[in-house]
Amino acid sequence: MTNQQTNILSVDNSVENLKEHPLIQCAATQLASNEVVAFPTETVYGLGGNALSDQAIERIFKAKGRPSDNPLIVHISNKKQLQHYVKHIPNSARKLIDAFWPGPLTIVLEHNKKLSTRVTAQLSTVAVRMPDHPVALALIEAANVPLAAPSANTSGKPSPTTADHVRKDLAGKISTIIDGGTTGVGVESTVVDCTSETVMLLRPGGISKEALEEIVGVVEVDPALVAADHTPKSPGMKYTHYAPDAPLQLIDGSTDFFRKIVEDAINNGKKVGVLVTEENKGLTRANQEVILGKRSDLSTVAQTLYSSLRSFDKNVVDIIFTEVFPETGLGSAIMNRLKKAAGGTIIKQD
């Protein structure tokens, strides 16, 4: 798996009939040979492999350094494909599919054992979504198989939102990277479990809990999202994720409190990085300041979150401090990722 030649294929998203594009066909041939291919989605770049092949799935785990007991999300290119891999599609799932597919919503259902058991980590359920990106849909259609695809990064590091992020993490470990430009949403899909009577939110993401409830009524929240002593059920939530090179701490308080925490660290000889919104730029004397979108528009924060976490230079800073955000709407997804990146470390103002 190491020192493999990695080809980078630049594909124009606006080209008509992308499925027949020579570079998409080339990548599909790689997938047919059980190689793994990184490709853009509307959320982050995914690392795709044939979801029916144990060999392909093993290559995904090895390339990422991902624990093998962590299930993968399966990507399909049309709604009808779902019935080939699950036992039953309940009414709640059908409503959500009609409302949000293609899009950043992953649905957990009982599978029918046609997928590789490596995809499902021996569970009775599988997580499936239909991405809203022309390159992703064309690649899945050209490959003619469902693609298991976690984020295309080294396990535990911030997810990739550009092909260059993928290259830095996985060059030499995978066969192909499709460069389709920067992703849109910036954080991973929302994951919901539809195997019970009431829909359960397993991972916040590009679609808010409030938006889900407009479609299916009350949505419960996985206890693991609010209590550390519960094991999460969602793919991608079991282990530490999104961590930058230097330790990250969240500061929950006023701007004066934020400034004081940073100044105290500087006075104690620390080289400090800060992750702040445009509204608070220039607030501190930090060694490295990274602007994280606009606080007044959290979609801009989500779009730049992972690239911002990746931009800190471990040779420049010893510690990173970040603002916190309201845990409603898209803010829930942003805070979920920041808390995971910080290992739950939050400094709160009394």
Q: Which fold would CATH assign to domain 7-225?
A: DHBP synthase (3.90.870)
State residue 237's pLDDT score: 56
Q: Enumerate residues 6+ apart whose C-beta is below 8 A from 53.
A: 34, 116
State residue 224's pLDDT score: 83
Tokens of 169: 């993490």
Give the residue from 43, 2, 30 showing the smallest Cα distance to 207. Answer: 43
Write down the domain spans for the chain: 7-225, 248-348
The response to whether 118 counts as a known ligand-binding position is no
Beta partners for 127? 73, 108
Q: What is the pTM of this model?
A: 0.93
* Sheet of 319-322, strands arranged across: 288-291, 272-276, 319-322, 248-252, 346-348
Q: Enumerate residues 6+ apart whose C-beta is below 8 A from 122.
A: none
The response to whether 182 counts as a known ligand-binding position is no
The response to whether 295 counts as a known ligand-binding position is no
The response to whether 43 counts as a known ligand-binding position is yes
Amino acid at 1: M
Give, as one character, the DSSP assignment of residue 326: -
The response to whether 189 counts as a known ligand-binding position is yes
Q: Enumerate residues 6+ apart whose C-beta is below 8 A from 157.
A: 169, 242, 243, 310
Quickly state the pLDDT bin for 150 (edges 50, 70, 90): very high
E strand map for 76-199: 105-110, 125-129, 147-148, 176-179, 190-193
d(CA 141, CA 136): 9
The response to whether 239 counts as a known ligand-binding position is no
Q: How far apart are the first and last CA of the chain?
A: 50
φ/ψ of 66, rounded to 5, equals: -90, 135
By CB neighbour count within 10 A (0-12 exposed, 13-18 middle, 19+ buried), where does 110 fall?
Answer: middle
pLDDT tens for 18-45 read: 999 999 999 999 999 999 999 999 999 9
Q: What is the CATH number of domain 248-348?
A: 3.40.50.11030
pLDDT tens for 294-308 read: 999 999 999 999 999
pLDDT tens for 171-212 read: 999 999 999 999 999 999 999 999 999 999 999 999 999 999
SS3 298: helix
Question: Over the chain, what is the mean pLDDT?
Answer: 94
- The answer, yes or no, to whether residue 66 has pLDDT greater than 90, is no
Quickly state the pLDDT bin for 235 (edges 50, 70, 90): low
Q: Which residue has the tokens 């400034």?
A: 259
The response to whether 85 counts as a known ligand-binding position is no
- The answer, yes or no, to whether residue 74 has pLDDT greater than 70, is yes
The response to whether 277 counts as a known ligand-binding position is no
